[in-house]
Amino acid sequence: MPTVGLANLEVFAATLESLAAVDRNIIAVTSDSRGSGKLTPFGQKFPKQIVEVGIAEQNLVGVAAGLASAGKTVFAVSPACFLTARALEQIKNDVAYSDNAVVLVGISAGVSYGALGTTHHSLHDYAVLRAINNLVVVAPADNFETEQAILQAAALKKPIYLRFGKKNMPVDLVISDWSGGVPQLVTGEKTDNQSTSNLFQLGKGRVIREGSDLTFIGTGETVLPAFEAAEKLASEHGIQAKVVSMHTIKPLDYELINTIASEGKPIITVEEHMVNGGLGEAVASYLMQNAHRNSFKIMGIPDEYTVTGSQNEIFKHYEITGEGIAKEALKLLA
């Protein structure tokens, strides 16, 4: 199994520091979220490159858009649940419509806040942001994808939303084993023992595991349980599942989806989001409109009052686990 590394949010903070050290136009804007965004060391090292607006998410996005319009490379950091709901109008108008190259960073996303409940869950963000023109939507699955997403977002000069949870994630899901512990990824380059194939590119899905019997398409922190399900199916049933990290929700990698669908095998999407309006519905829409008839299942949070608990407890309740996803795959194959 892949080596567990840092929380993607910690990789984000370290990568942002490495960028800010060589580019004084890198600015972080936070909404009383410096600590939860792991940006306290950033603020200490670069006090002139961080702006704190307090608990005022609409101001956060407005200030970030203004700085971006003046040529700064801006990362607007705030809890995903508030950033993509309370400041949605500013995201639509000040960032996307006005084409200001702000990197919107939604932290503690999905059900990462766990026991704080529905008010602090962001299970709507894919749906609302997919409906806004001129906005890239990304949820990295592991530390490597996180580092690359930050580096590419800074260079992209377009409006983009990056989504991060709080849980420690694998260093690189493509790598099944590591020697010498967790490598330092915040160099912008691959390490010697890191795969040089299947590199990260915004807008292109990343095949984590090959398989010919069915495909799991996950995004963000659900890619790991999809990978675990594939390993379980292989060891217990001899079933080989392909696993894809569809880190970019928008624009979606239709070329890869078409290739997978053309194989005629079942497809299961997995996401830490409401089943309405997210990755699963985006994939289903493409399949239906292009005459693909694969057996298909969306796994995510159902349209109901979400249970309260830790992220692990909520995932287990809704069977977004290796065991639960494998069980759904067996049903679909049958």
What is the fold of 4-169?
Answer: Rossmann fold (3.40.50)
pTM above 0.75, yes or no: yes
For residue range 88-142, list pLDDT tens digits in order.
Answer: 999 999 999 999 999 999 999 999 998 898 999 999 999 999 999 999 999 999 9
pLDDT given for residue 174 in this prediction: 86
- Cα separation, 125 vs 61, in Å, equals 16
**4-169 and 203-333: same fold?**
yes
pLDDT given for residue 4 in this prediction: 84
Lowest pLDDT segment from 18-32, 68-82, 166-180, 303-317:
166-180
Q: Per-residue pLDDT for 189 more than 60?
A: no
- Residue with token string 């009383």: 32
Lowest pLDDT segment from 53-67, 187-201, 227-241, 265-279:
187-201
Confidence of residue 175 (pLDDT cuts 50, 70, 90): low
Confidence of residue 199 (pLDDT cuts 50, 70, 90): confident
Mean pLDDT of the chain: 92
pLDDT given for residue 182 in this prediction: 39
Q: Per-residue pLDDT for 31 more than 60?
A: yes
pLDDT given for residue 180 in this prediction: 36
Report domain 203-333's class: alpha beta
Residue ranges of the domains in the chain? Answer: 4-169, 203-333
